[in-house]
Structure 1
Amino acid sequence: MSVSTTPPSRSRRVALAGLIGTTIEWYDFFIYGSAAALVFSRQFFPSASPAAGALAALSTFAVGFVARPVGGALMGHFGDRIGRRSMLVLSLLIMGVGTVLIGLLPNYATIGIAAPILLVVLRFCQGLGVGGEWGGATLLALEHAAPARRTLHSSLPQVGLPLGVVLGSLVLLAVRLATGDAAFAAWGWRIPFLVSAVLVVFGLVLRLKLDESPEFRQLRARREIHRAPLAEVFRVPRTWIPAAGLNVLASALGNVLLVFTLAYVAAERLISSSAMLAVTIVSALVWAAAIPLSALLAGRLGRRRVIVSAVVLLTVWSFPYFWLLDTGTAAGALLACAVAGFGIGLASGPYGAFISEAFPPAIRYSGSSVAYGIGSVLGGAIAPIVATLLHTATGGAAAISAYLVLSGVVSLAASLTLRSPHPGSTETRSETESLLEGKA
């Protein structure tokens, strides 16, 4: 398969468009997490105890993660068969419609049990959208870029996650300060969800102007499209299993930071919710800045080496993270979350290129999307729930830190196991591609 011949200026535009689109999608995805931590237990589960209501609200948050591998499988299948660009447009539409409808959804007091049921359905739609988003945005940026720039360009859609968190946190903070705590809990929380409609229209205009991936056009011209790309992915477990485990720790700690920590500091009365939202914004900016830096380092040192270093850092930080939060000071919380954000960004920079190029182009959308989705379920989906259960059972955070260390062991083993080529290295093809060709 020949490499991209896209002009550098156009490949940069594709990467930047991917960054903007993923920022919008992650804004939609994570304002749900903040709302779930702050108000959903009262709005949709009022008859439950405070602990049970918080657990129920965070469980609906997890539904979005469970839906991500499903969305990745569906959009990966069609992305490998009809193109990356069309699936990116579809994913943004699904996410945007689901988010706006959550903002309009009546609460339990209005429509009873139908309210939490519809909330789960709409959250599942959000998960479907973001499940297809990540793979498509990463691949479009990667496959338009020259080999030496693939790690950097494919890292830009990863920046959309923390920037989406920043955007969502800023909107939530502004609305909370403008309405007050009581009005925010009653109706103000809906405003950030409704703002999504404007953002989605902007994102769709950008995406409709993008060109299809050069590598996919070559596959189609050579009639090398696979009939069942997902089945081909699962034929090579030595690739998709470590690819799925690679992001478990970063996803777990990321969602502990973004979701559970809001509820934790509120339950322990450590710092105010508004101060914690401000800490989250600063930490997400550190996270965002670390991603391109990490990609540049990976270009010099190798993708695997940078990812392993990040996993070790995050594993070691699992205990100091909660020790600093428990000081009850904004400075302690900021240091805890900023270092965690930096480590997650360090792991994220080479991540997209590392797992995408472990799969051959004909099954790359399916392989990378499903692996990313499974890793997100094993890490991000259950992390806030496990953290809440452990905190409720033990009354402290030591067990949560031990759980994060266990996640680090999984990610470290995966990062050392996964085989993926790197531009400029002597390895020119992934083991997956060789095995698939041998079975053809």
Structure 2
Amino acid sequence: MKTQKHHSEKANQRRVAMATLVGTTVEWYDYFIYAMAAGLVFSQAFFEPVGSELSLLISFASVGISFLFRPLGAFLAGHYGDKIGRRAMLVLTLVLMGGATTAVGLLPTYQEAGIIAPIILLLLRILQGLSAGGEWGGAVLMAVEHAPNNRRGRAGAFPQLGAPLGLVMASGMMALMSGVIAPGDAFAEWGWRIPFLFSFVLIILGYIVRRAVDESPVFQEIAEKKQQSSVPVITLFRKHAPLVIVAALVFAACNAAGYMATGGFIQNYAVESVGLDRTDVLNAVTYGAVIWAAATYVTAVASDRWGRVRVYQIGHVVLALTIFPLFWLLNTGQIEMFYLGLTLFALGLGGTYGPQAALYSEMFPASIRFSGVSISYAIGSIIGGAFAPTIAAFLVQQTGTTTSVSFYLLALTVVSLVAVSLIRDRSGLNLSINNEAEQAVGALVTDKRPIPAPVKETV
């Protein structure tokens, strides 16, 4: 009987891993497709009347506007995720994201519909932001709370892999349309729409996979004991506001650096300023995303052995060392050098992304954990990635060099390195609701309150 139970738990963990991987990949594909189109098409299709330079800034700003609504999505999903469960929120956010993405593919352009076209585009981007704000926290908790305490880093890698794999899919689809199916003017006329419409197929796949997964065992305990917090968000900020801010700052550098590629800036700069071929650039970004995925998985697994904080610190150092070479190599105008720059850069991204799921999950008490990880992630994305492409484009326009962009990213990396160094590594902490007293104190090294004796792990 014990062997059968062990096999059943292993099979369920594999289902959870697949569900979180597929779901987050679909969500980030949807999110990144918009960002790439903003850098390659939307400035002409929706914002052209304001002039070429300003239309590009507005187009990148439309990418960032969704981040302003991610905290609202995180508040809502965190509130209901801590009250009615992780799984229900995951299904809802998936459908909301996919529906908004598909609708973008059906939108008329400014020339066809006038000012109403960019207005609807922005509204759909806001819906994407609401969805993204709630997606990540739920996926992470489903993965980590199902996992054994000594394999949480590995389990948390699967929802983290959704971002680089979503970028692989988004770049691959854009490259396919630009280079094969709709090359030249056809891409700007209608080819860019196909990747958005393809999202409808992905919604169905993600919905089927996510509906088949059991609810998180930690939330099942919370529901059985009727220990849901009445207003999780208020409890979170009343008792753990400094922890939320530190956690948000931890994510800022990775998010800003990542949005150089996922937010469309690299693609636009490489094509319009450096003069590289659009399809070659998209292929290079697809390759870089594969390296990012590999580094994410390796560092997530490594965090189970060497601790989340240590691996995170190393990741930030690597990221700091690769920020300048990325643009130096790109500016050579040689596609091979761009590949090399992306390889180095992706290693730093993976090092600051792989351990994040487990680190965040071990920072917050069980009854408000969904709210804690979701809101911290959303605030970090505003500080880091929200307007990173817009800021980068503005810096290049004002200074005429990407060195200013590198210094901007370096400053954020230093901030994130300091922030993660303020966190106490709690790898292996019992995440059960029964151990909430220990979970509630000691996440920051500055917290000198006595830590209660841990409850023996039962999951």
TM tier relative to shorter chain: over 0.9
**Residues 79 and 136, structure 1, Cα contact 8 Å, conserved in 2:** yes
- Corresponding position of 2:165: 163
Aligned residue pairs: how many?
Answer: 434
* 1:430 Cα deviation after fit: 4.9
Per-residue deviation, 1:418: 2.3
Aligned Cα root-mean-square deviation (Å): 2.0
Q: Sort the Cα spacing of 1:336 and 1:152 in 2 relative to 1 into closer, same or farther, 3 A.
A: same
After the TM superposition, which parts of structure 1 deviate over 6 Å for at least 4 consecutive aligned residues?
432-435
Distance of 1:357 and 1:307 partners within structure 2: 14
Instruction: Establish whether residue 145 from structure 1 lines up as the match of residue 150 from structure 2.
Output: no
**Are residues 1:238 and 2:219 paired?**
no
Q: Is 1:210 paired with 2:213?
A: yes
Amino acid corresponding to residue 17 of structure 1 in structure 2: A
Contact 1:359 1:368 in 2 (8 A): yes
Q: Is residue 105 of structure 2 the alignment partner of residue 100 of structure 1?
A: no
Task: In structure 2, list runs of 5 or more residues that go unmatched.
Answer: 453-459
Higher mean C-alpha deviation, range 44-53 or range 118-127: 44-53
Structure 1 segment 333-348 matched on structure 2, within 5 A: 333-348=338-353
**For 1:80, which of 76, 79, 82 is the aligned residue?**
82
CA distance in 2, matches of 1:108, 1:50: 14
The Cα shift of 1:432 comes to: 6.4
In the alignment, does 2:28 pair up with 1:26?
yes
Distance 2:385 2:121 in 1: 19
Report SS of the residue matched to 2:291. Answer: helix
Q: How does 1:122-201 map to 2 (within 5 A)?
A: 122-177=124-179, 178-201=181-204
The alpha carbon displacement at 1:420 in A equals 4.8
Amino acid aligned to 1:77: H
Say which SS state the counterpart of residue 148 (structure 1) adopts.
coil
Q: Which residue of 1 aligns with 2:258?
A: 254
Deviations 1:362-402 (A, max 9, x none): 10110100100111111111110110110000111111111
Q: Give the whole-Å Cα distance in 2 for the aligned partners of 1:422 and 1:378.
A: 26
Structure 2 residue 309 is matched with structure 1 residue 275? no
Q: CA deviation at 1:349?
A: 1.3
The one-letter amino acid paired with 1:341 is A
How many Å apart are 1:267 and its aligned residue?
2.4
- Partners in 2 of 1:340 and 1:69 — Cα distance? 28
- Inter-partner Cα distance in structure 1 for 2:275 and 2:48: 25
- Percent identity between the two aligned chains: 40
The match for 1:405 is 410
Out of 405, 414, 422, the position equivalent to 1:417 is 422
Please say if residues 148 and 424 of structure 1, whose CA atoms lie closer than 8 Å, have aligned partners that are also in contact: no
SS in 1 for 2:21: helix
Which stretch of the first structure deviates more once superposed, 158-167 or 178-187?
178-187
Deviation at 1:277, TM superposition (A): 0.5
- Counterpart CA distance in 1 for 2:16 and 2:303 is 21
Matched residues in 1 for 2:104 and 2:152: separation? Answer: 37
The one-character-per-residue Cα deviations of 1:24-81 (angstroms, maximum 9, x if unpaired) are 1111000101100000011001212211111111111111222222111110110001
Q: What residue in structure 2 maps to residue 287 of structure 1?
A: 292
The TM-score normalised by the length of structure 2 is: 0.91
With normalisation by structure 1, the TM-score equals 0.95
Aligned residue type for 2:439: R
Paired letter, 1:247: F
TM-aligned CA deviation for residue 424 of structure 1: 7.1
Q: 1:222 is matched with which residue?
A: 225
Unmatched runs of 5 consecutive residues or more in structure 1: none
